[in-house]
Amino acid sequence: MRMVDLIEKKRDGKELTKAEIEFIIKGYTSEVIPDYQMSAFAMAVYFQNMSENERAALTMAMVESGDQIDLSAIEGIKVDKHSTGGVGDTTTLVLAPLVASVGVPVAKMSGRGLGHTGGTIDKLEAVNGFSVEISNQQFIDLVNKNKVAVVGQSGNLTPADKKLYALRDVTATVNSIPLIASSIMSKKIASGADAIVLDVKTGAGAFMKDLDQAEELAKAMVDIGNNLGRNTIAVISDMSQPLGLAIGNALEVKEAIDTLNGKGPKDLLELCLSLGSQMVFLAERTSTLEEARTLLEEAISSGKGTETLKAFLQAQGGDPSVVDDVTKLPTARYQIDVPAKQSGYISSIIADKIGVAAMLLGAGRATKESVIDLAVGIELKKKVGDYVEAGEAIATLHSNQENVDDVSKRVEESYTITSSKVTAPPLIYKEIR
Ligand code: URA
Ligand code: CA
């Protein structure tokens, strides 16, 4: 086989075989195939797309390019949840203990990553003492004991995807449905998931800005999962405004605790119940989604969810008493309100602009070397559809710098206020199975 022939084949819109795709991914990972040929191939895929069989083969070839985590020593069906990302998405912090509390194992591999806030691991490190530095054996033992543990990503998971994603980033080929879908699914499968719940976000703050695109991506991932024997479902949810009210690391831990106590923002609770029921259902803990939802609601009202969170934090060195006393979380020196310029109804909040504002306060990483300030962030006081009086706070900045006029201005500019009544956008658009 020669790479040049395979590039030509794809360029002309023909279907590659499984063996040909394996040849490309093996060759690229071992540096036999150079970046310039892989770039041409990615561009050919960008224009010519891939069939369902090609997508599954590409995913599996990337899974096999590195380590595959073996979770078979954990009892039960391991369901993983993945979100395509957004602003202030606190769902993992709520879902991990909540789903575990009804007996479904949550073996979470998570990252730090770049973004408006830290990743799940950074957020959890806002709890004094918490650490993901545990061995694979400890990880497995903890999931069997408490039904939940979080570990950092292994160094050699899907190296082909790492290499290809970096190449796509500089060759204008990121935005290709088959390449995005196989990239995401390869990481989930390599980290040992038996079944997968996908939260595909749509709207200004999301990777997929419009609903049609989000739906196409969701369908592509569900097809890959099912094709490879992993029961997969997707929920398409709104990210036109930030999810919940908190954007920041410690602020989101507090928001997650509030939500587990039944006192969190309605939209965050609703999305967690929806994704959580899918997880419980795929784990075959219940035979219907309705039963799954009832179990999760009971775990919130009975306090089982927060008890599981305490056990989980304690098992990984964290101080469990923060769950009963959130003032033990890191807090910022200054709390600065952003006032509304006029009275009226909030008609939009540009999620990614709020995200950048949180990052400017120090909540996220711009580069791998950036140091995160766990205490800072933004607390929204108003969401789309709410009424606000001129001068009333639309948001509060939690900052360790005193002068944050530029951040205040950004937050203010993210909000649009109109005189006529506005209805909030739907939270969940569609479920795809
Ligand atoms: N996220 C990924 O992990 N991969 C992509 O290709 C795009 C977004
Ligand atoms: Ca949030």
Closest CA to 113 of 162, 168, 71: 162
- pLDDT computed for residue 215 by the predictor: 97
Tell me if residue 161 is catalytic: yes
- Ligand 1 centre and the CA of 135: distance in Å? 27
From the CA of 87, which ligand is nearest?
2
Which residues are found with C-beta within 5 Å of the ion, ligand 2?
88, 90, 244, 246
165 CA closest ligand 1 atom index: 6
Whether pTM > 0.85 for this model: the answer is yes
- pLDDT computed for residue 209 by the predictor: 87
Give the residue, by CA position, lying nearest to ligand 1 atom 7: 180
Tell me if residue 399 is catalytic: no
For the chain, the residue count is 433
Pocket of ligand 1 (CB under 6 A): 165, 174, 179-180, 183-184
- Ligand 1 centre and the CA of 183: distance in Å? 6
Give the residue, by CA position, lying nearest to ligand 1 atom 3: 184
From the CA of 162, which ligand is nearest?
1
Residue 233: Cβ-neighbour burial (10 angstroms; 0-12, 13-18, 19+): buried
Q: Tens digits of per-residue pLDDT, 213-272? A: 999 999 999 999 999 999 999 999 999 999 999 999 999 999 999 999 999 999 999 999
96 strand-pairing partners: none
Does the structure show a pLDDT above 80 at 390?
A: yes
- pLDDT computed for residue 88 by the predictor: 85
Output the average pLDDT for the chain: 96
Per-residue CA distances from 366 to 45, 115, 274, 369 (Å) = 30, 7, 32, 8
Q: Tens digits of per-residue pLDDT, 348-381? A: 999 999 999 999 999 999 888 889 999 999 999 9
Coil, strand or helix at 247: strand
- Tokens 């006081």 found at: 381
179 CA closest ligand 1 atom index: 6
Find the angle CA(264)-CA(201)-CA(169) to the nearest 5 degrees. Answer: 130
Does the structure show a pLDDT above 80 at 316?
A: yes
- Ligand 1 centre and the CA of 179: distance in Å? 8
Tell me if residue 183 is catalytic: yes
Does the structure show a pLDDT above 90 at 55?
A: yes
- Ligand 2 centre and the CA of 300: distance in Å? 18
183 CA closest ligand 1 atom index: 4
- Ligand 2 centre and the CA of 90: distance in Å? 5
Residue 393: Cβ-neighbour burial (10 angstroms; 0-12, 13-18, 19+): middle
Coil, strand or helix at 131: coil
Tell me if residue 168 is catalytic: yes
Contacts of residue 192, Cβ cutoff 8 Å, sequence gap at least 6: 68, 69, 70, 71, 78, 80, 107, 109
Per-residue CA distances from 143 to 11, 72, 157, 312, 348 (Å) = 47, 12, 21, 9, 41
Choose the catalytic residue: 65, 83, 176, 183: 183
Does the structure show a pLDDT above 80 at 1?
A: yes
344 strand-pairing partners: 388
Tell me if residue 83 is catalytic: no
